[in-house]
Structure 1
Amino acid sequence: MAKVAIVGTGISGLGSAFLLNPEHEITVYEKAARIGGHSRTVTLDYDGRAIPVDTGFIVFNRPNYPNLSGLFAHLGVPTHASDMTFATSIRDGWLEWGLKDLDSVIGQRRNLLRPRFGMLVRDVLKFNAQAQETVERHPELNVEGLIAKLGLGDWFRRFYLLPMSGAIWSCPPSEMMNFPARTLVQFFANHHLMSFTGQPQWRTVTGGSQEYVRRLTGAFAHRIRTNCGAVAVTREDGKVQIKDTQGGTEVYDQVVMASHGDETLALLKDTDRDEQAALSCFRYQKNIAVLHRDESTMPHRRKCWASWNYVSDGDILHPKVTVTYWMNLLQGIDQKYPLFVSLNPKREIPDHLVFDRTEFDHPVFDEAAIAAQGRIAALQGRRGTWFAGAHLGHGFHEDGLASAVRVARGMGADIPWEAGALAAPDAPQQKARQPVMRPGFPAQDPVPAELF
């Protein structure tokens, strides 16, 4: 039995702790008073009714989340069906349409009289039919090159692909055009965005993600030190020494750094050249999530409303964009109590309509970060140090848990559920194993936001 420190209580840290706890003496460090990372449930008072609402991780599906689904089944976490649909509203309602059903596609009836809207729909079908084969033949293409290669029109680019992909990857149009086309198409294909049938059933945790965190930590809650963050980690003579914010110092056999990549770099006080080179590649962006009841953040036409809504007050190429999640649809909340989560809202939401504001840090997945993921794999277990985190995949809940699984297996632990195929160590997941991306909001580089 080894004495193991775990730094961080997001899904990666708590997953590592859960898997290592049966065979090791663990201690979990958390700088905040709350555990769970992006698993964050707010229980609000809505006109006298208590309603739990998730503002971070919200939905998953079984085919694309094998580890998370396995964990939930193992813990008996209650879940219920959810909905994942997309809508876009351009130029303050000048053009609106959704993908929930046929009625939402033509929710703005004048679209039936717009020849260019008909061409947009035609181009969507063409993209769905030809994009995969095209990127296989031309893997070097970026999104702009793929659009040109397929001869797709301006409305397809401005009013479908850029809003959809920009919401998923939290990337502005100018950056999205340089995004690797193969990555985009693979994601669309893996997650059934290129077909109108066969989509997986989305699910959400009944009672909010706080319910799975409570069950996950039941056996080791007494080993979690909240308000006690690590401030310095040093390795010497085969041991790991950790100094914490409360002034304590403790020595361990091994450490799992389940903190953000930039935080890990700052905490490790004796990084070697390889660690420095890999960890310095991870950057993060702060984003604000507002839980509220302001319906003006949604498309003008209610028929176009969807689970996630890309609403622009300007042209798509010069947008003031807010992505708003319709929590009633996502979490099955009674629609008598309208609830929304808006990410980096560009309009001021009146204070009397706001229930909660919070700030999240999300990894920026540029070329340097993606390349660094592979280098981290070679560092695992060296100097008694392991690395976990969603930044080692695509930034989502399944990535975080998958990284914990890899660490636990590397340390000889058993995995108490039978997950499907796991991702290659610390590399982006491929094919059906890739987790679902989260819709997001404008950033400087591809940055996953919340929801998944």
Structure 2
Amino acid sequence: MARVAVIGAGIAGLSAAYHLREQADVTVFEKEANAGGHANSVEVTDAGRTLGLDTAFIVYNEPHYQKITQFFAELGVACQAHPGRFSFNNADTRTCYVSDDFELDEAAIRAKYPEDFVQLWTEAERFYRESPGHFIRKQAEMSLGEYLTANGYSDTFRYGFVVLVATAAWSVPADRIWDMPAATVIAFFLGHGREGLGGRTAPWRTVTGGSINYVRAVLERLGAAGQDIRLGTSVTKVAETAAGVEVSTGASVEMGTEAGTELFDEVIIALHADDALGVLAEPTPQQRMLEAIQYNTTKAALHTDAACMPADREQWRSWNYARSGDNDNMSTWVVYYLNQLHDFTSATDYFLTLDYPFAIAPERIIQEFDYRHPVFTTEARSLQSSIHTINAGDSRIKFAGSYFHSRKMGIDIVGSHESGFDSGAAAADAVVRSLSVDSAR
């Protein structure tokens, strides 16, 4: 049986290994001590029970995460609905509104809010009504900033709504949002509901007990199939030779591993695009197309400090978007209220903050993380029309990652667990085709 290496045990790598589990002798290399990548749950003891608190991948919905939904069903992983809903708050003015308000009619909005929110609500309704048609007719093939200007959207809508949802969805700084492809942003709302990640118009679900449970189920399946899972093993170089593909690994005193080089028939690199290029001994011109994918680092903190939330507890929601500063010098962040997201009751409130600009009480911090997310520029979107061809050539090295679009959902469905999972399946398919060609020779 052919030997295949999968480098990286995030959703893309796990998907690739899962799809190859009965067709090749697979070795999975993961530099971290745990598999899962952004499927990263922290388990805490709370009133004698264990709570799995997700810190990156948290929710999905069945209509637009169809392959992930099927995957969880195959694994027999328990999942549950979560209530959705969001709040938007301005930390400077202490003003806040909640997603429930978008379900009111205009008369109720005018009775409850000042004119600037009425304008925001009115433009949001227009955006939901008009943008799908622009997307379908390819009238959104421009940057988000250009699209909003061309269609007469105000700064109130841009900075009071769009920038908050978009920075949270893609984990990028506010000043980079306007260069994102408008079509990608519109597709996000089409796939995630009109309120983005926090709404109730999409049937959101979460893995019961945290996403760590689906990772454990995958590892159990891979182990039962005899696959070799090497955690805490960092790959330092991948070199294609006439005999196959050499994979070199570094030594780790902590994990008790030694440096070495092994030969494989095929290799799937399921890392961030820049990290994938970084381990290649000699990237080909075609492989260098991945240089178009840029990344941004997000600071995440899991903690119990309620100072990050709106002052009025009645305004707490699952997803709490916030901003501070003026439009030209703005900080944006999001707070996930995990008690609501995971739908559990506790005397302790658990929060996950992304890029929170203020101090968190040190004694209330459970754990902190740095996560890297792809930044989708117009250049990166243009790449999507041909990105899957990187695995169609004669090279024995294939690629997978959430920077690939979902083949079924289209070029604007990128950066999600669904696209990461699909990319792993696509890379596995490419390996099977390559091995079939070799065996036919």
TM-score by length of 2: 0.85
Matches within 5 A, 1:168-187: 168-187=169-188
Distance 1:112 1:130 in 2: 26
Deviation at 1:5, TM superposition (A): 0.8
Aligned to 1:439: none
Going from structure 1 to structure 2, the CA distance change for 1:139 and 1:153 (only over 3 Å counts) comes to closer
Stretch of structure 1 that moved more, 132-141 or 255-264: 132-141
Give the SS at the match of 2:339: helix
From 341, 344, 363, give the equivalent of 1:330: 341
Stretch of structure 1 that moved more, 209-218 or 89-98: 89-98
Deviation at 1:279, TM superposition (A): 2.7
Deviation at 1:194, TM superposition (A): 6.9
Deviation at 1:79, TM superposition (A): 0.7
Give the SS at the match of 1:255: strand
Distance 1:52 1:2 in 2: 37
8 A Cα contact 2:163 2:174, kept in partner: yes
**Deviation per residue, 1:126-169 (Å, 9 max, x gap):** 22222333453633443334334443333222212222223223
Aligned to 1:432: none
Aligned to 1:404: 424
Going from structure 1 to structure 2, the CA distance change for 1:38 and 1:51 (only over 3 Å counts) comes to same
8 A Cα contact 1:234 1:270, kept in partner: yes
Unaligned runs of 5+ in 2: 251-257, 406-413, 434-441
Going from structure 1 to structure 2, the CA distance change for 1:25 and 1:350 (only over 3 Å counts) comes to same
Stretch of structure 1 that moved more, 177-186 or 345-354: 177-186
Distance 1:92 1:120 in 2: 18
From 362, 365, 373, give the equivalent of 2:373: 362
1:234 equivalent in alignment to 2:230 = no
Number of residue pairs matched by the alignment: 411
1:127 equivalent in alignment to 2:127 = yes
From 225, 247, 261, give the equivalent of 2:259: 247
8 A Cα contact 2:52 2:212, kept in partner: no
From 371, 389, 395, give the equivalent of 1:378: 389
Deviation at 1:92, TM superposition (A): 3.0
Give the SS at the match of 2:237: strand
Aligned to 1:260: 272
Aligned to 1:165: 166
8 A Cα contact 1:98 1:104, kept in partner: no
Matches within 5 A, 1:14-29: 14-29=14-29
Going from structure 1 to structure 2, the CA distance change for 1:260 and 1:141 (only over 3 Å counts) comes to closer
Distance 1:319 1:48 in 2: 42
Quick one: which amino acid aligns to residue 175 of structure 1? R
**Deviation per residue, 1:280-322 (Å, 9 max, x gap):** 2233222221011111111222232222212223234422332
Quick one: which amino acid aligns to residue 65 of structure 2? Y
1:67 equivalent in alignment to 2:78 = no
Deviation at 1:412, TM superposition (A): 3.6
Matches within 5 A, 1:82-161: 82-100=82-100, 112-134=112-134, 136=137, 138-161=139-162
8 A Cα contact 2:171 2:373, kept in partner: no
Distance 2:31 2:203 in 1: 36
Give the SS at the match of 1:391: coil
Deviation at 1:389, TM superposition (A): 0.9
Percent identity, please: 30
**Deviation per residue, 1:301-346 (Å, 9 max, x gap):** 2232222212223234422332111111111121422111001211
Deviation at 1:373, TM superposition (A): 4.1
Deviation at 1:100, TM superposition (A): 3.7
8 A Cα contact 1:104 1:305, kept in partner: no
**Deviation per residue, 1:101-149 (Å, 9 max, x gap):** 569999xx99825123222222222222223334536334433343344
Aligned to 1:274: 286
Quick one: which amino acid aligns to residue 116 of structure 1? D
Distance 1:91 1:105 in 2: 27
Distance 1:340 1:253 in 2: 45
Going from structure 1 to structure 2, the CA distance change for 1:228 and 1:154 (only over 3 Å counts) comes to closer
Aligned to 1:440: none
Quick one: which amino acid aligns to residue 304 of structure 1? Q
Distance 2:138 2:380 in 1: 26
Give the SS at the match of 1:407: helix
Distance 2:20 2:90 in 1: 49
